[in-house]
């Protein structure tokens, strides 16, 4: 975060507590399981989703009497959403045949696809076991609905692999389900746990969902133009796997028949450098970045339901950082 103040100190302390909660929830009586759990803990990079949970909770509770029990519930939710996120990364690496994550070897490269799939399942199962300890049955139901959407989004994306006629509406449906709903749940469910009204919780859910979609668009851009040593994961996978992201979708909709034929040839050859030049020539890369910026501005407008506070300002900063990052 750009400022050093008490809010950041409190958040850092709480994130440390979430990390401990995460680690304890994955402890198993089998040494091979513990070894894998220790390895996957290094996947915790930006900690965006736990940060959204905690910061949302702090923003909602601004001016309220502090509550240790609510703080503990929010910490557990933060660990739960991070486990769910970790499970999707492990499974995505299998689907994408990726070999690099957070600058290190993926589970599928180290131990094979079978082990990676089971580890992803173990993380999901552990997340719901931890969620049940919060003592709010509605939370389990909400997270179950959210993870169903995540899986449906992945299936929808798989069904459109190699689809050169993919339109923006379908692209955004995929991204909303795969990325937006989890970020939305982080904020909406945290707000409800923190005592927000249904109206405020819904506004914050939409803030998170729009932020999540913008975050994914930035990932799309970085997959094309990012530097692997900075991003910390295997790049160019979307192109190799026929997953057409927003810059390519916009480009194909804008280009001439001749340019389209050239683009298809470049995609089939997996020539990332030439593809970047083509996408830039139609302004599609700029258009994708602008769409992400618009989503972030719209998301920040959702925060008007909150009173002024350092936590609310941090939610603004998180949104801005989502599309300014290079990793």
Domain assignment present for 1: no
Q: For residue 25, what is the domain's CATH number?
A: 1.10.600.10
User: How far is 157 from 284, CA to CA, in rounded Å?
Assistant: 21
Q: What is the pLDDT of residue 1?
A: 43
Q: What is the pLDDT of residue 26?
A: 94
User: Rg of the chain's alpha carbons, rounded to an integer?
Assistant: 20
Q: Are 212 and 302 in contact (CB under 8 A)?
A: no
User: How far is 40 from 104, CA to CA, in rounded Å?
Assistant: 10
Mean confidence (pLDDT) of the chain:
90
Quick one: tokens of 310? 């350092």
Residue 202 exposed, middle or buried by CB count within 10 Å (0-12, 13-18, 19+)? middle
Quick one: tokens of 322? 């989502």
Q: Considering only 100-104, 148-152, 154-158, 267-271, which range has the smallest mean pLDDT?
A: 100-104
Tens digit of each residue's pLDDT (9 = 90 or more) over 67-93:
999 999 999 999 999 999 999 999 988
Q: What is the pLDDT of residue 235?
A: 43
Domain assignment present for 210: yes
Give residue 197's domain range.
6-324
Q: What is the pLDDT of residue 250?
A: 96
Domain assignment present for 150: yes
Tens digit of each residue's pLDDT (9 = 90 or more) over 248-277:
999 999 999 999 999 999 888 888 889 899
User: How far is 226 from 17, CA to CA, in rounded Å?
Assistant: 32
User: How far is 201 from 223, CA to CA, in rounded Å?
Assistant: 33
Residue (of 316, 302, 256, 312) closest to 282 by Cα position = 256
In sequence order, the β-bridge partners of residue 104 are 101
- Neighbour-count burial for 122-154, b at 16+ CB within 10 Å, e otherwise: bbbebbeebbeebebeebeebbeebbebbeebb
Q: What is the pLDDT of residue 327?
A: 64
Tens digit of each residue's pLDDT (9 = 90 or more) over 280-319:
999 999 999 999 999 999 999 999 999 999 999 999 999 9
Tens digit of each residue's pLDDT (9 = 90 or more) over 25-71:
999 999 999 999 888 887 776 789 999 999 999 999 998 999 999 99
Domain assignment present for 237: yes
Q: What is the pLDDT of residue 226?
A: 65
**103 pLDDT band (50/70/90 cuts)?**
low
Per-residue pLDDT for 155 more than 50? yes
Tens digit of each residue's pLDDT (9 = 90 or more) over 107-134:
888 888 899 999 999 999 999 999 999 9
Give the number of domains in the chain: 1
């Amino acid at each position: 975060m750009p400022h050093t103040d008490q809010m950041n100190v409190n958040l850092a302390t709480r994130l440390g507590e979430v990390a401990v909660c995460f680690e304890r929830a994955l402890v198993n009586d089998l040494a091979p399981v513990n070894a894998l759990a220790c390895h996957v803990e290094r996947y915790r990079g930006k900690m965006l989703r736990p940060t959204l949970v905690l910061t949302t909770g702090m923003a909602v509770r601004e001016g309220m009497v502090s509550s240790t029990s609510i703080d503990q519930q929010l910490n557990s939710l933060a660990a739960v959403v991070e486990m769910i996120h970790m499970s999707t990364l492990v499974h995505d690496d299998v689907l994408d045949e990726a070999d690099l994550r957070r600058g290190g070897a993926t589970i599928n490269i180290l131990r094979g696809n079978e082990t990676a799939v089971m580890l992803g399942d173990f993380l999901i199962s552990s997340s719901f076991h931890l969620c049940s300890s919060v003592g709010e049955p509605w939370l389990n139901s909400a997270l179950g609905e959210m993870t169903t959407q995540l899986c449906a989004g992945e299936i929808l994306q798989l069904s459109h692999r190699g689809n050169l006629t993919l339109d923006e509406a379908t692209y955004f449906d995929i991204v909303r389900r795969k990325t937006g709903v989890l970020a939305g749940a982080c904020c909406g469910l945290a707000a409800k746990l923190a005592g927000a009204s249904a109206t405020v919780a819904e506004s914050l859910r939409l803030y998170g969902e729009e932020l999540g979609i913008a975050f994914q668009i930035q990932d799309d851009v970085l997959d094309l133009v990012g530097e692997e040593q900075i991003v910390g994961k295997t790049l160019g996978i979307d192109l190799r796997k026929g997953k057409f992201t927003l810059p390519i979708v916009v480009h194909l909709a804008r280009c001439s028949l001749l340019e389209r034929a050239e683009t298809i040839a470049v995609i089939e050859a997996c020539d990332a450098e030439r593809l970047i030049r083509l996408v830039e020539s139609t302004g599609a890369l700029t258009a994708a970045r602008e769409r992400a910026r618009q989503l972030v501005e719209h998301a920040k407008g959702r925060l008007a339901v909150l009173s002024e506070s350092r936590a609310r300002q941090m939610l603004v900063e998180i949104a801005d950082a989502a599309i300014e990052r290079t990793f």
